[in-house]
């Protein structure tokens, strides 16, 4: 029922849902660009509309009282971005434990403009040996969904170029805040 309601809401708002065939059972789902708080609202609707049983990574501040419990029930996994504590290995282990597992990550790590992408999503996908799915919300075209499912080559330069090609001309709500698709150095 939630799937049907979400699809109808997208249609009522004049949005088109996009998804390529053959969705993998396991994938790291990249959410780009992340330029507005509205991205989270549309991403949640997209999750329901496409029937994605997806977990998502968010800054630990989102998981405090009074909304922390709700965020976890919606699939959220808190991460302390200030400390390094084996998150890549922890997430790779979660992929190994489940028959189906979709993990949503915004590689920019913020809604603000950055110089490039953090590599955590990439390292998780390689460690778990799963593809990367490219999710988007295109406010200009009023389209949202998944552009492609990519199997990584293990060559960071090749892979980031392939990802960038798929996201060409897919602006966020605030295009000036969309970080360039390149690795942070």
CA distance linking residue 70 with residue 76, whole number of Å: 9
Terminal CA-to-CA distance of the chain, rounded, Å?
45
pTM to 2 decimal places: 0.89
Note the pLDDT of residue 10.
94
Q: Are 122 and 29 in contact (CB under 8 A)?
A: no
In DSSP terms, which residues pair with 169 in a beta bridge? Answer: none
The tens digit of pLDDT for each residue in 4-49 reads 999 999 999 999 999 999 999 999 999 998 888 898 889 889 999 9
83 compared with 91, residue with greater pLDDT: 91
State CA 61 to chain mean position distance.
18
């Amino acid at each position: 029922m939630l799937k049907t309601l979400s699809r109808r809401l997208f249609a009522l708002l004049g949005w088109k849902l996009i998804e390529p065939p053959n969705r993998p059972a396991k994938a790291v789902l990249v959410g780009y660009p992340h330029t507005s708080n509205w991205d989270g609202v549309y991403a949640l609707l997209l999750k329901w509309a496409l029937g994605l049983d997806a977990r998502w990574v968010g800054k630990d501040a989102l998981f405090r009282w009074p909304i922390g419990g709700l965020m976890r029930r919606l699939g959220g996994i808190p991460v302390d971005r200030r400390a390094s504590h084996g998150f890549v290995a922890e997430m790779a282990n979660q992929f190994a434990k489940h028959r189906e597992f979709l993990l949503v990550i915004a590689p920019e790590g913020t809604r603000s403009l950055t110089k490039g992408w953090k590599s955590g999503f990439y390292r998780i996908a390689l460690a778990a040996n799963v593809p990367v799915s490219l999710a988007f919300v295109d406010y200009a075209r009023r389209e949202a969904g998944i552009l492609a499912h990519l199997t990584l080559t293990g060559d960071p330069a090749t892979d980031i170029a392939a990802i960038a090609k798929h996201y060409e001309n897919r602006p966020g709500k605030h295009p000036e805040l969309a970080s360039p698709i390149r690795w942070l150095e």
